[in-house]
């Protein structure tokens, strides 16, 4: 059980977070960007679970938070996809480069 | 006399009035100028008459208070000032009248009268100033007025250049005057003439300091009076309209230098070196300019060089302790030189050229101008019974009595040259065959000839106020109550007068034989000594030397400074603006509305913050 060191969990979380960040900042397709953001959230979840088990004060609170986080992420994805679909209906595209409305 | 301060104000009113309403008045503006200068003239004459019986009047008011130092402004009517007031306002009035005919039809007629008013105001203000500071202010105003008038035909390149040259050359002298003034103030704590003279008399100033300040102030006079080596602006200043030449370059502005030396005479008199400097510069200028005058062919330039030469005479007189002689010659010269300039203007008005080679046989055509010109010529040549004879005689006696024998002989030779070149001018214009291309020669209107008549009368009789025969009234009056100015009349050997007469008659004779009778070939001398002729013809290459040395040096410095300006100063400025602009452009480019870009920047910023935090350990 304790053969896997804590650094391995953290490294996995870090790698997942970096992949997510890279995807969120570079991909052109908005769907992919949303998926990348999910990746980053899940990297955070891994961290939460890891520290709830191997942290300075191990307790169940971290895992509860992870569950909350997953629930919130699910709601966020539902809302995000709904916005994306309505955007697609308006603009006929999911290319993120063309969504520069913030400028105006 | 209490209201003498009004005298300079009349022309000032004329200036301001014409500045405001000149455009509407057109040529009627002449009457404004003439009337107001006439008022000045009448008042000046009244002041002069009053001054004969009363003593010097001086009124002052505090102008500025700096600490416990009070600068005053006011006016003073002493003998010299009263005399100058009359000379200046008289010549100014006559020139105003004359210009009505001469400038007729000029587009900027009212402007011309406005400038004349400004100049007259400055000059009259100058001659009643009771202290050096006020003198300096009016001195510079005179410079401005002359600049405007010389450059009146500003659309001519040469007139523009001449105006600038006159201004800059006199400015060079003014620097000397300013430094001398400041030194005097430093030494005596006052700008007042009286206090300076008192300090000089008490010996409160060291001898070297007196010499230094006197010479520095003399440099100012050299610039204004066109003495060597700052004389080159005066002949060029002939680009101005001819009445201006008569006003500025005969009677007023150029006399300002002589006036300055005369009014500071006690200061100069306290230093032998300064006096000698003044005398030598004066004598040298007199002979130097006279030789140039021998070969010039432009009617006004001949007169200009003769002015330079005559001013040299005045300086020689002052430098030889001949205060009366200098002031006397200043007065007579003002009359006959103004007459000559106005007559020359009348000739130019008639034939539309200034080249005397193209003139000739005008005696019958210009039956009025001719005799008037002759009177002026006789007066300046020092022919007996004319005014110039008496004043020149006084100067020669002063130079002799002072023991400057070489300078005396220089002055005698200069007198010979003067007689020669003036009659050369006269004969070339008026005698000989009439040129065919000058058919439409007509006499000037009476508004132009009348002022000349007045001046001609004065050129004849002005000398009789101070003669060895009928009493030295002017001289006695000028030095009355002031021993520092020397004697009213200096006794000299009687043969000096005979020498002067013979010399001037010889000059006239030679000119007659060469240019009228033509018994001596005109190029008798120039063909024998072509080198000397060339040098003199080119005015000793003084202009060229200045161009090669001083102007070149100034240009080199300005080029260097321009280099610094362009590459250093402007480079820095451009670098700053480019940096700011670049920053702005980059910022604008980043704000493109792409969420991803914002995210990247936020991430990079966070990373940088963390790196800083890690490196500094959180203590920043």
Residues of A in contact with B593 (CB under 8 A): 100-104
pLDDT greater at residue B422 or residue B484: B422
Q: What is the pLDDT of residue B78?
A: 82
CA distance B399 to B406: 9
Mutation choice for B interface testing from A17, A24, A25, A94 by most B CBs within 10 A: A25
Q: Does A32 touch chain B (CB under 8 A)?
A: no
Tell me the sheet residues that pair with B73: B61
Instruction: Express each pLDDT in B422-456 by its tens digit.
Output: 888 888 887 776 665 555 667 777 777 888 888 88
Whether the per-residue pLDDT at B133 is higher than 90: the answer is no
Measured N-to-C along each axis, helices A30-54 and A61-91 cross at an angle, to the nearest 10 degrees, of: 180
Q: Where are the domains of chain B?
A: 131-520, 544-616
Give me the pLDDT at residue B592, please.
77
* 3-class secondary structure, B431: coil
In angstroms, what separates the C-alpha of B615 from chain A's closest C-alpha?
22
Beta strands in B433-522 (DSSP E): none
Q: How does pLDDT run across B448-483, given as a tens digit for each residue?
A: 788 888 888 888 887 787 776 666 777 777 777 666
Q: Given CB atoms, is B593 within the 8 Å cutoff of chain A? A: yes
In the A/B pair of chains, how many CB contacts fall below 8 A?
Answer: 26
User: Which residues of chain B are within 8 Å of residue A96 when distances are taken between CB atoms?
Assistant: 594-596
Are the Cβ atoms of A100 and B593 closer than 8 angstroms? yes
State yes or no: pLDDT of A104 exceeds 60.
Answer: no
Q: Is A21 within 8 Å of B592 when comparing Cβ atoms?
A: no
Which residues from A are below 8 Å from B599, CB to CB? Answer: 24-25
Closest in B593, B600, B603 to A102, CB measured: B593
Q: Report the topology of domain A4-91.
A: Helix Hairpins (1.10.287)
What integer pLDDT is reported at residue B331 of this predicted model? 86
Q: Identify the closest residue of chain A to B591 by CA–CA distance.
A: A103
Q: How far apart are CA B298 and CA B354, in angstroms?
A: 5
What is the Cα–Cα distance from B453 to B438, expressed in whole angstroms?
A: 25
Percent of chain B with pLDDT over 70: 91
Question: Are the C-beta atoms of residues B395 and B325 closer than 8 Å to each other?
Answer: yes
- For residue B105, the SS3 value is coil
Residue B568: its pLDDT value, please?
86
Query: Kind and range of the H or E element at B75?
Result: strand B69-77
- Cα separation, B220 vs B136, in Å, equals 10
Pick the residue of A24, A36, A40, A104 with the most B CBs within 10 A to test the interface with B by mutation: A24
Q: A39 and A20 in contact (C-beta within 8 Å)?
A: yes
Between B538 and B562, whose confidence is greater?
A: B562
Picking from B591, B594, B599, the nearest residue to A24 by CB comes out as B599
Task: Look at residue B130 in the predicted model and tell me its pLDDT.
Answer: 83
Quick one: average pLDDT of B145-168?
Answer: 85
Chain B contact for A64 (CB, 8 A cutoff)? no
- For every residue of B280-335, DSSP letters joined together read HHHHHHHHHHHHHHTT--BHHHHHHHHHHHHHHHHHHHHHTT-HHHHHHHHHHHHH
Confidence (pTM):
0.75
The reply to whether B596 touches chain A by the CB within 8 Å rule is: yes
Predicted local confidence at residue B1, as pLDDT: 65
What is the CB neighbour count within 10 angstroms for residue A19?
Answer: 14
Residue B544: count of CB within 10 angstroms of its CB: 12
Note whether B402 and B322 are within 8 A (CB): yes
């Amino acid at each position: 059980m304790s053969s896997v060191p804590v650094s391995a969990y953290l490294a996995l979380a870090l790698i997942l977070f970096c992949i997510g960040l890279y995807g969120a900042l570079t991909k052109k397709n908005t769907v992919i960007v949303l998926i990348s953001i999910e990746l980053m959230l899940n990297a955070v979840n891994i961290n939460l679970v890891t520290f709830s088990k191997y942290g300075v004060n191990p307790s169940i609170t971290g895992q509860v938070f992870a569950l909350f986080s997953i629930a919130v992420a699910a709601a966020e994805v539902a809302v995000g996809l709904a916005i994306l679909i309505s955007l697609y209906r308006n603009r006929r595209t999911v290319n993120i480069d063309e969504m520069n409305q913030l400028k105006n | 006399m209490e209201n003498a301060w009004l005298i300079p104000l009349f022309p000032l009113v004329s200036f301001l009035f014409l500045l405001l309403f000149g455009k509407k008045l057109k040529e009627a503006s002449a009457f404004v100028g003439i009337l107001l200068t006439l008022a000045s003239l009448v008042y000046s004459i009244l002041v002069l008459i009053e001054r004969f019986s009363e003593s010097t009047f001086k009124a002052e008011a505090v102008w500025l208070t700096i600490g416990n130092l009070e600068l005053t402004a006011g006016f003073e009517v002493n003998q010299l000032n009263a005399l100058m007031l009359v000379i200046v306002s008289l010549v100014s009035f006559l020139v105003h009248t004359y210009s009505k005919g001469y400038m007729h039809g000029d587009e900027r007629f009212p402007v011309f009268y406005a400038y004349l008013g400004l100049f007259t105001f400055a000059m009259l203000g100058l001659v009643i100033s009771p202290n050096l500071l006020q003198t300096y202010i009016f001195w510079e105003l005179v410079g401005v007025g002359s600049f405007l008038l010389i450059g009146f035909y500003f659309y001519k390149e040469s007139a523009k250049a001449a105006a600038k040259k006159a201004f800059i050359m006199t400015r060079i002298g003014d620097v000397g005057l300013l430094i001398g003034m400041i030194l005097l103030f430093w030494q005596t704590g006052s700008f007042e003439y009286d206090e300076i003279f008192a300090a000089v008399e008490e010996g409160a100033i060291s001898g070297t300091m007196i010499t230094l300040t006197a010479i520095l102030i003399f440099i100012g006079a050299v610039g204004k009076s066109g003495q060597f080596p700052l004389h080159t602006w005066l002949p060029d200043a002939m680009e101005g309209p001819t009445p201006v030449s008569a006003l500025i370059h005969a009677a007023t502005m150029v006399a300002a230098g002589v006036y300055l030396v005369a009014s500071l005479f006690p200061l100069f008199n306290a230093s032998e070196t300064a006096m000698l400097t003044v005398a030598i510069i004066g004598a040298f200028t007199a002979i130097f300019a006279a030789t140039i005058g021998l070969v010039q062919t432009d009617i006004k330039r001949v007169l200009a060089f003769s002015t330079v030469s005559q001013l040299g005479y005045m300086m020689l007189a002052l430098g030889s302790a001949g205060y009366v002689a200098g002031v006397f010659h200043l007065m007579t010269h003002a009359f006959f030189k103004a007459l000559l300039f106005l007559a020359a203007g009348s000739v130019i008005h008639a034939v539309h050229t200034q080249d005397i080679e193209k003139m000739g046989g005008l005696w019958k055509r210009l039956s009025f101008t001719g005799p008037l010109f002759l009177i002026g010529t006789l007066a300046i040549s020092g022919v007996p019974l004319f005014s110039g004879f008496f004043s020149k005689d006084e100067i020669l006696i002063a130079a002799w009595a002072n023991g400057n024998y070489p300078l005396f002989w220089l002055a005698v030779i200069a007198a010979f040259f003067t007689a020669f070149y003036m009659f050369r001018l006269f004969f070339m214009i008026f005698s000989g065959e009439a040129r065919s291309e000058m058919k439409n020669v007509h006499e000037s209107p009476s508004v132009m000839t009348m002022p000349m008549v007045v001046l001609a009368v004065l050129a004849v009789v002005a000398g009789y106020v101070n003669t060895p025969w009928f009493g030295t009234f002017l001289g006695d009056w000028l030095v009355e109550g002031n021993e520092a100015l020397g004697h009213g009349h200096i006794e000299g050997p009687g043969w000096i007068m005979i020498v002067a007469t013979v010399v001037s008659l010889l000059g006239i004779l030679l000119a007659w034989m060469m240019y009228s009778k033509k018994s001596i070939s005109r190029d008798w001398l120039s063909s024998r000594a072509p080198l000397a002729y060339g040098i003199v013809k080119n005015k000793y290459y003084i202009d060229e030397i200045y161009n090669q040395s001083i102007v070149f040096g100034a240009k080199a410095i300005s080029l260097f400074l321009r280099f610094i300006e362009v590459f250093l100063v402007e480079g820095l400025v451009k670098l700053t603006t480019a940096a700011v602009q670049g920053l702005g452009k980059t910022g604008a480019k980043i704000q493109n509305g792409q969420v991803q870009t914002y995210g990247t920047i936020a991430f990079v910023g966070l990373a940088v913050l963390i790196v800083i935090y890690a490196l500094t350990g959180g203590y920043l």
